[in-house]
Amino acid sequence: MKIILASDHGGYAMKNELAQYVANMGHEVTDIGTHSDESTHYPIFGRLAAEKVATGAADLAILVCGTGFGISLAANSVQGVRCVNCTEPYTALLSRQHNNTNALALGARVIGIDLAKMIVETWLAASFDSGGRHTTRVDMLTAMSEKPAPGAYKAPSSL
C-alpha cells in the first residue's frame, strides 16, 4: 500500500520512527513533512496528507501531532477522508472494520512509540467489513460530507 505520513513539530520524531517502521513492513512510504522540529502548523500537514488520500495519490495516511486531535480535524475537513485519532489498538481495529477509516492520527505527547507502532500495525492489518450496517453507515457519513451547509443534511424519516 501507498502510505502518506505527515506531522507538525510535536509529532516530528514519532513520525520519523513510524515512517521507517511502516517501510519495514513493506509499504511504500511518502513523508510530506514537516521535516524539522521547528514550530509549524498542524492544519497544513493534516490537510495536505488528507488530500493525497482523497485524490488517490495515497491509499492511507498516518498523521502525528501533539495530541492527534488537531491534525485529525484538519484531515477530516477533506471530503472522502475518515480520520480516527487513536490511543490504543482496539479503536484502530474497529475504525477500519466498521468505519472504513483511511487516515490515522496519533498523539506523540499522549502515547509512546511502542504503543504507536502497535496501533499502526493493527490499523494497517485490518480491513473494512463491507456490506450490511457498516456500509450503510459509511454511506451516510459520505452523504453528510457532500452537504457542507448546516441544515442541508436530512436524516432518514425512519429515525
Residues with a known catalytic role? 65, 98
Identity of residue 149:
A
Phi, psi of 122 (to 5 degrees): -65, -45
How far is it, in rounded angstroms, from Cα 34 to Cα 44?
A: 9
Residues ≥6 apart with Cβ < 8 Å to 47: 74, 75, 77, 78
What residue type is assigned to position 19 of the chain? A
Q: How far is CA 61 from CA 7, 132, 153, 159, in A?
A: 11, 26, 27, 34
Three cell numbers written together for 95: 475504525
Kindly calculate the radius of gyration of the chain based on its CA atoms and give it in whole angstroms: 15
Strand partners, 105: 63, 85
